[in-house]
A = this chain, B = another copy of it.
Amino acid sequence: MDSMTLIAIVSILAAGLTISVGVIGPALGEGKAVATALTSLAQQPDASATITRTLFVGLAIIESLAIYCFVVSMILIFANPFWNHVIAQAAGK
């Protein structure tokens, strides 16, 4: 197993794990937030504007956590500095 193969393997594995493990928390958090929003809307339809606005801000902040994971996952697949270094090294060899 040469360096290139090893780095490729680990990158693939890490990319998959990062996004799959990383969405568990946000998914549960967003599910809870949406669920409470619906309860609140049913309980107090008059406050619908405030509730919807707060919900969307909250969802955006929680979604940002999943985006961090997606960004890291994409970096590991398409802009991996370690991989680039090894490729450059192999090309220059």
Contacts and interface: CB of A to CB of B under 8 A. Distances in A.
Q: How many copies does the complex hold?
A: 14
Contact of A28 (B2, B29, B44, B83): B29
Nearest to A60: B61
Interface residues of A, number: 79
A22 B15 CA distance: 12
B82 A16 contact: no
Interface in A10-65: 10-48, 50-52, 54-59, 61-65
A11 B12 CA distance: 6
Contact of A14 (B13, B30, B38, B56): B13
Contact of A59 (B13, B58, B76): B58
Given A9-B10, A15-B76, A45 B38 contact: no
A1 B3 contact: yes
B66 A23 contact: yes
